[in-house]
Amino acid sequence: MSLSGFEVEVQRQGNAGLETEEMTLNMGPQHPSTHGVLRFVIKADGEVMREAIPDVGYLHRSIEKISEKVGYHGFMPYTDRVDYVAAMFCNQGWSMACERLAGIEVPKRGEYCRVIAAELNRISSHLLFLGTMILDIGAMTPFFHTFREREKINDLLEELCGARLTYNYMRIGGVAWDLPPNFAERTLEFLDALEPALDEHNDLISYNKIYVERLANIAVIPPDLAINYNLVGPNLRGSGVHYDIRRDEPYSVYPDLEFDVPIGTGEVGTVGDCFDRYIVRVHEIKQSVRILRQCFQQMPTGAVIAKVPRKFKPPAGEAYVRIESARGDMGWYAVSDGSEFPYRCKIRTGSFSAMSIIDRVSPGLMIADLVALISSLDVVAPEVDR
C-alpha cells in the first residue's frame, strides 16, 4: 500500500527523531500564587517541569542585624516583621531567648496569656493558609468563608493588644497587658461558632472531588526526605512524622495542656502529598480550639509580667530557644556581651528550609501543580528573606 506524501514525511520525522527544546519560564514575582515576593525559574518540556529553582531575596531587610542597633526591648516590634502572618510566635521566641539569657521567670498568668494569644494567632494563620491555597487552586467562595472567621480573630486580637497584624504584645518577662474584661467569654463564643464553621468548610471544599484530585498524590514528600530537607511543623507532620515542639520539647504552659498532634495519613492519596499538608492544618485548628478552652479553664490570677529593668543588660552569654510557630520549629539564637545591645541574633525559620525542597520535588510535575506545591508548604516570604 502506497503512502501519501504527508504520511511519508511523518514517518521520516519519526524515524529521524523529533528534537524538542526546553522552555525557561519565569514564574513570579508578579504571578498571583507567589504573592509578589517570590520567583521561580522553571525549565519545562511543554507542561511538564524539569526543574523549578527558587529565587529569593525580594523581601530582605536585615532584621537580624537591626537587633544589634536597637537593643533588646527595642527589637520586639521588629520581630513582628519576621512572620507577619503569625507575629505572636516571633514576639514569644525573642522574649524567651532574652529571658533565658537573663534567667527571668515569667509569671504563670503571663504564660497563659502568651499561649492564648499564640494559639489564636495559629488559627488565624491557618485560616489564611486555607483561604489563599484554595484561591490559588482556583476556587473563590471558600476564601470568603475562611476570612470571615479570621476577621473575628483579628477583632479579638485588636481588643487584646490594639493591633490586627503586627502585635508587639509580648514583652521580656511576660506580656504588655492582661486580658481585657470579658475577653474569655467573647473568645469562647467565637470558638463555639468556629467548630461548626470548620465542618461546613470541609463539606464545601476539603473533600470536594475536584479539589481532592488537584491535591491527592501530588508532590509527595516521603518522611525520610522531609527529615533530610529539615522540614518542620505541618509540612513535616504532613509527611507522617509525629513531631511537635510543644509536646516533644515543651515550653511555657504546654506541659499542663492536653492536645493531639495531627499527622498525614494518606487519607485520599499518598502520605506526604499536598492534601496531607493541607488537611493537617485543618486538624490543627481544632486542636488549637481545644488548647484555648483549657487555658481559660486553668488560668490563674496574678501578675502578667516580671520586673525587668528598662535598661536591660543580660550577662554575657548565649541562648537558643525553639518554639512551635504556625510554620513549625522556629529557633531564636541570641548572644549577649553584657551591654544593652545584642551582640548577635540569628533566627531559624521553617519557610526557608521549605523553599529548598521545591527544586527537589518539582521535576515531573505539571506547571499547574507547582502552584499546589507552593501553597501546600505555606511559605511566608519574610521568613525566607528576613
User: Is residue 209 in some structural domain?
Assistant: yes
Residue 36's pLDDT is what? Answer: 65
User: Is residue 268 in some structural domain?
Assistant: yes
Question: pTM, whole model, 2 decimals?
Answer: 0.89
- Residue 365: DSSP 8-state: S
For the residues 171-200, what does the mean pLDDT come to? 92
In the numeric block, which cell numbers belong to residue 313?
Answer: 543588660
For the residues 311-336, what does the mean pLDDT come to? 92
Q: Tell me the pLDDT tens digit for each residue of 25-79.
A: 888 776 666 666 788 888 888 888 888 888 888 788 888 899 889 989 999 999 9
Q: Tell me the pLDDT tens digit for each residue of 231-260.
A: 998 999 999 999 999 999 999 999 999 999
Give the percent of the chain with pLDDT over 90. Answer: 50
For the residues 280-292, what does the mean pLDDT come to? 94
> Cβ–Cβ contacts within 10 Å for residue 293, how many?
15
For the residues 348-353, what does the mean pLDDT come to? 87
* The pLDDT of residue 124 is above 90: yes
| Cα–Cα distance measured from residue 237 to residue 225, given in angstroms and rounded to the nearest whole number | 12
User: Is residue 359 in some structural domain?
Assistant: yes
CATH number for the domain that contains residue 242: 1.10.645.10
Phi, psi of 205 (to 5 degrees): -135, -40
User: Is residue 343 in some structural domain?
Assistant: yes
* The pLDDT of residue 321 is above 90: yes
| Cα–Cα distance measured from residue 305 to residue 374, given in angstroms and rounded to the nearest whole number | 39
Residue 6's pLDDT is what? Answer: 41
Residue 91's pLDDT is what? Answer: 93
Task: Using alpha carbons, select from 353, 328, 330 the residue that is nearest to residue 232.
Answer: 328
- In angstroms, how far apart are the furthest CA atoms of the chain? 98
CA 308 to chain centre: 31
Q: Is 33 left (phi over 0), alpha (psi -120 to 50) or beta?
A: alpha
Predicted confidence band of residue 11 (pLDDT cuts 50, 70, 90): very low
User: Is residue 181 in some structural domain?
Assistant: yes
Higher pLDDT pick, 345 / 385: 345
Segments forming the whole domain that contains residue 363: 62-385
Residue 117's pLDDT is what? Answer: 94
Predicted confidence band of residue 84 (pLDDT cuts 50, 70, 90): confident
| Burial of 1 per CB tally in 10 Å (0-12, 13-18, 19+) | exposed
Residue 40's pLDDT is what? Answer: 85
Residue 17's pLDDT is what? Answer: 58
Grid cell 522574649 — which residue?
95
- Residue 265: DSSP 8-state: -
User: Is residue 2 in some structural domain?
Assistant: no
* The pLDDT of residue 5 is above 60: no
| Cα–Cα distance measured from residue 179 to residue 128, given in angstroms and rounded to the nearest whole number | 24
User: Is residue 8 in some structural domain?
Assistant: no
Residue 120's pLDDT is what? Answer: 94
Task: Using alpha carbons, select from 189, 130, 200, 197 the residue that is nearest to residue 155.
Answer: 189
User: Is residue 293 in some structural domain?
Assistant: yes
Residue 13's pLDDT is what? Answer: 47
Provide the number of structural domains found in the chain.
Answer: 1
Residue 97's pLDDT is what? Answer: 94
